[in-house]
Amino acid sequence: MLNANIVAHMPTAMASIVTQKARNKPYILDPQTHAFQHDIALLQSTASGNQKKLRRSIDTLIRDYGSIVKDAIIDQERPLDPSDLTDDNACKAFCQGVLKFQIDTLSKEAKQSDSQKYYRYLASNTNTPAPSFRPTMVVAPYFYLTSTGLRSWLPININCARNSVTYANDTGLPLAVEIVISRGLLVDEASVNSIVAEYAQVAGIAAFLVWVDDFSEHSASAEELRRFVALIRQLANVAPVVNLYGGYFSTAIQRLGIVPGFAGVTHSLEYGEDRSVIPVGGGVPVAKFYLPSLHKRVNFRDAIRAIRALDGFASKASFHATICDCKECQKVIDDDPESSFDAYGRTKAVSYMNRGRKVTREYPLTETRMHTVSHYMHRKRIEFSQKVTASDIAARLRSTQEQLSNKLQPEVIGHCEIWASVIESLAPS
């Protein structure tokens, strides 16, 4: 998944990724149209002289998405309102602009790139067809649905989906519909039923991309997790579903086949297993380690405590047996696992003065990040492909929680029992 603002911000670099580093990998571009319904201050940065100005990437998106967005955001300096899109022609034009951006942007950049001449050579001199750099699917414009905004924005979303189906059909690309809802809406069964019922009447949706605002599977209640699975199940009756920002709980549900039609889960590298609709801000990067038995990134201090409790530092063999034997850990952990584990947590201290007081922060080194990201990717690959049973998953989670119960805070390990009981209750007997 690529986000539209990144593509708008650096199209050449993103085209390079698609054509070279991630060659032949399918991609989908999230148009992020919900950004235009929020306070426009979120779309601005502070230019010189403390003047607020639209971010360049947002400006690019607005101009590509068409006059409806431009009129509201740039000319009238206000967010989009549902009334901007109630006129069907306006909605059609908006959908065309959004889909056209997804289809054309990276393709155009790729055609202008240096590698294009090599593809042309391959196409003319070998049987290798010239690649198309179009996305695998296009995503209809969408807006964030909350308990208070549902009645106003849902009809707009539905109309955008309908109009996008027509345009997508013309391009020959399947259409995905992104559903972004608040946590409040997630647990409102009646509202969820109405959302699904509306979308079920739109013919031609090839997939649903689901994003529940700020929904961390690690801190969600059992009821929230059950409601989430129920939402996926209802949508999957219409079209395959992908959870855009999820972690191992979603992976387990998918691997266990609890919801036929639940196609999978996406996230970023170490980040993005949950995401807020309104950006919260980056924060200071800290050294964290993805602890496989917890299926969670924990701060480095907790990782050390946990590994000790799980006897992972006893020997190299013990580390690989009880903690992780992924390719990265096999490279990093040597015969002194306690010392070599340091590679996952090395930082550089940077001190500065803040209001007359010296403040010291530690930033992970570049090589630390490489180790932790590589380890994370290897673990995720294992999780995505592992054959598992519900009882195995539940037993391991409970065992981990028991072993770590006096070593780590309850907030760090509490999800284990919740996941175990929810998965057990949902798995077919």
Partner 1 sequence: MTEQLFVSSVYKRLVEHEGIRIGVEVPLLGRSVDLAIMLDDEVISVEFKLKNWRRAISQAKDHRLGADYAYICMPRERISAAVIEAVRKGGIGLLTVDTNEHWPFEVVVGAPRSKDVWPPAKQMVIDHLRRSTGSKLAPRELACA
Assess 286 for contact with partner 1 (CB under 8 A). Answer: yes
Among 124, 349, 387, 429, binds partner 1 (CB under 8 A): 349
Which DSSP helix (H) or strand (E) runs through 211?
strand 205-212
Ranges within 299-338 binding partner 1 (CB under 8 A): 299-301, 304-305, 338
User: In this structure, which amino acid lies at residue 176?
Assistant: A
> Of 136 and 403, which CB lies nearer to partner 1 in the complex structure?
403
129 CB burial (10 A radius; 0-12, 13-18, 19+): exposed
> Of 51 and 351, which CB lies nearer to partner 1 in the complex structure?
351
Assess 359 for contact with partner 1 (CB under 8 A). Answer: yes
Assess 347 for contact with partner 1 (CB under 8 A). Answer: yes
Assess 358 for contact with partner 1 (CB under 8 A). Answer: yes
CA 156 vs. chain centroid, Å, equals 24
Give me the least distance between CB of 305 and partner 1, in Å please: 8
Among 356, 385, 411, 428, binds partner 1 (CB under 8 A): 356
Interface mask toward partner 1 for 195-234; x: CB under 8 A: ----------------------------------------
- DSSP, residue by residue, 297-328: EEEHHHHHHHHHHTTTTS-HHHHHHHT--SHH
Give me the least distance between CB of 308 and partner 1, in Å please: 8
Q: How many residues bind partner 1 (CB under 8 A)?
A: 22
Cα–Cα distance measured from residue 103 to residue 6, given in angstroms and rounded to the nearest whole number = 15
Report long-range pairs for 233-236 (Cβ below 8 Å, ≥24 apart): 233/259, 233/262, 234/192, 234/193, 234/196, 235/179, 235/196, 235/199, 235/208, 235/210, 235/261, 236/208, 236/260, 236/261, 236/262
Q: Are 208 and 183 in contact (CB under 8 A)?
A: no
Ranges within 178-197 binding partner 1 (CB under 8 A): none
Instruction: Look at residue 362 and give its three-state secondary structure.
Output: strand
Give me the least distance between CB of 295 and partner 1, in Å please: 21
Among 287, 291, 298, 404, binds partner 1 (CB under 8 A): 287
Give me the least distance between CB of 408 and partner 1, in Å please: 12
Assess 405 for contact with partner 1 (CB under 8 A). Answer: no
Give me the least distance between CB of 290 and partner 1, in Å please: 16
Candidates 12-20, 59-67, 133-141, 359-367; binding stretch for partner 1 (CB under 8 A): 359-367
Cα–Cα distance measured from residue 296 to residue 293, given in angstroms and rounded to the nearest whole number = 8
Assess 42 for contact with partner 1 (CB under 8 A). Answer: no
Q: Are 131 and 202 in contact (CB under 8 A)?
A: no
- The 10 Å CB-count burial string (b at 16+, else e) for 274-285 is bbebeeeeeeee
Which DSSP helix (H) or strand (E) runs through 181?
strand 175-181
Give me the least distance between CB of 389 and partner 1, in Å please: 36
Q: Which residues bind partner 1 (CB under 8 A)?
A: 286-287, 299-301, 304-305, 338-339, 341-342, 345, 347, 349, 351, 356-362
